[in-house]
A = this chain, B = another copy of it.
Amino acid sequence: MISLKKNYLRQKVAELLIIRSSGHLCDTQRQYPKWELKNSELKRLLEEGVGGVILLGGSIHELQQRSKILSSWSAKPLLLCADIEEGLGQRFQGGTWFVPPLAVGQIYRKDPEKAILLAEKYGSSTGFQARICGLNWILAPVCDINSNPNNPVINVRAWGENHSTVSELTCAFNRGLASQGVLSCAKHFPGHGDTSVDSHLELPILEHDLNRLEEIEFSPFKTLVAAGADSVMSAHILLRKIDSRHPATLSRKVLTTLLREKIGFDGLLVTDALVMEAISKCYGVAESAVLAFEAGADLLMMPENPDEAINAICSALLSGRIPMKRLEEALVRRRKALAKIEAFNSTSLDQKSKVDSLDIERDADRALADELIRRSILVRKQLDLDAKNHAGINLLRVDSVLPCPFLTPLSPACCMPEAIGFRTILCHQLGISPWATDLNEPLALTRFGDGPFLLQLFCRGNPFRGDLNNQEPWLVVIQQLQKQNRLSGLVVYGSPYLWNELIQVLDPSIPSAYSPGQMPEAQNQVLSAFLATDKMKNVLQTQTLRDFTD
């Protein structure tokens, strides 16, 4: 009888966990085998009652199958989520991939109404494709205000740099998601925008007091909560003046006193991934799960060992450390969220007919992605194709190369400059260093050979990479190449902060352009504009792309 009760309790606690699965279907295909559970483990945990799965990797068609399989392993409806902030294509091959939200924030400056409309479409397109692939919960929008340009982990993921832009655009995005019957998640409470440390690596510490939070950080969360955010995700940051002991994710003061009581949020409260080092460095699996749950979180994202987390919470409930009421309220919130999805699905007619269609990306999605690129690229000065000999170096700088999802030898960033005589050289963290020891002439020119440089810098804040990007002296490189008359042009893809920094020193006579998006279509659009389209077309038509197999 007691073991029956215990078993029942274990099942109920298990509902609150979100475990990690690859979107690929075979165990051998997992990209992060340390974090992505094997099929046998996923099956066991879902059979034992685990209530949610976070997915990453694979194609949209694999994701469709994966969602069905995960659901078939569970007796009850699941929360199936993904960290999709920039369209389904950001995480799942074949989905539409949008420019980062900050690009929409830039459009907002010039044309707020247009930007709001685009943000809503951004949400509905993401929601549509997610639902067609079996997901019912999108871990977006990012509600952090990127007030710190050096933020290594939020950066272009934010919708803006001030609270009104972020509030307006995240609400619009949220309306779009809601129109597709997919749950949203406002993150990362109480605001991750003013950090300069990557919480994937260590715990950021902030000095903000309640007044400051009320004035700035809370604003988008309040607006979105009022507008009906389905869930909120906690941040792994320590607000010394609010709770000097525990980071927000584990802090009762932050989660319950501020978010629940002060802001009045009554939806699902989920932790950020508990495996992140900001948490896992200081707390064990069991303790972090119990603390987060005790503090007010309803759902626990990616505890390193799911069984250990479930057992620890069960013990804390049985011992009376945590009142049963906490479990009940969390389960009720989860049920309500699932009921909302259910209600949508039962009235929506288009779902079934679309599920097996080949092209999940509709014309409207493609048009939106293209429009967002078109409105966000910036050509300061075109390259004159006739002006000089372009037998130079197409220097591509990327954050990572194994893999580099937006680049193949056939990508526009390679092909188009090659078509007019530039030879591509790819610089990345794993390659031979492009750097010399002379701080005033940092680019080791002898490693590149003769000719002028077309610099194409793909650079954005990326998790796990700390502030590596900022350490590279591209500003000085611009000066070095200008002095030597060897700079043909500059194109920045991604960070507006890097772009703004570099054009401070860039001679206005040097051709330059910027694109917030890094995907092939962004390369195509920005280079077509930069390289004077018509002439380029002729060049590309005469070029033979001869490879046809691996």
Contact = CB atoms under 8 A, between A and B. Distances in A.
Given A403-B403, A430-B424, A359 B26 contact: yes
A375 interface: no
A61 B62 contact: yes
A432 B445 CA distance: 11
Contact of A408 (B31, B426, B432, B547): B31
Interface stretch (A32-40, A169-177, A340-348): A32-40
Contact of A28 (B27, B62, B94, B404): B94
Nearest to A34: B545
Given A26-B361, A447-B433, A549 B56 contact: yes
Copies in the complex: 2
A338 interface: no
Interface string A250-275: 00000000000000000000000101
Given A24-B94, A277-B546, A59 B29 contact: yes
A418 to B, nearest CB: 11
Nearest to A520: B28
A56 B549 CA distance: 8
A201 B425 CA distance: 23
Which has the most chain B C-beta neighbours within 10 Å: A431, A433, A549? Answer: A549
A117 interface: no
Contacts of A32: 410, 547-549
A28 B358 contact: no
Interface in A326-376: 358-361, 366
A97 to B, nearest CB: 10
A229 to B, nearest CB: 23
Contacts of A441: none
User: Which secondary structure characterizes the binding site on chain A?
Assistant: loop
A27 B359 contact: yes
A88 to B, nearest CB: 11
A93 interface: yes
Given A25-B94, A275-B548, A408-B402, A61 B65 contact: yes
Interface string A69-103: 10000000000000100000001011000000000
A34 B424 CA distance: 21
Nearest to A444: B447
Contacts of A61: 25, 61-62, 65
Contacts of A444: 447
B402 A29 contact: no
A320 interface: no
A205 interface: no
A430 B410 CA distance: 13
Contacts of A360: 26
A28 B91 contact: no
Given A94-B26, A401-B402, A431-B432, A548 B34 contact: yes
A29 B426 contact: no
Nearest to A96: B28
Contacts of A200: 546, 548
Interface string A401-414: 11111011110000
Contact of A431 (B69, B407, B409, B431): B431
A39 B361 CA distance: 13
9 contacts: A26-B360, A59-B62, A61-B62, A201-B546, A402-B404, A425-B431, A427-B432, A433-B447, A447-B447
Q: Shortest 10 CB-CB distances between A and B: which pairs?
A: A432-B432, A35-B548, A426-B430, A26-B94, A431-B431, A29-B94, A432-B447, A402-B408, A25-B61, A464-B547
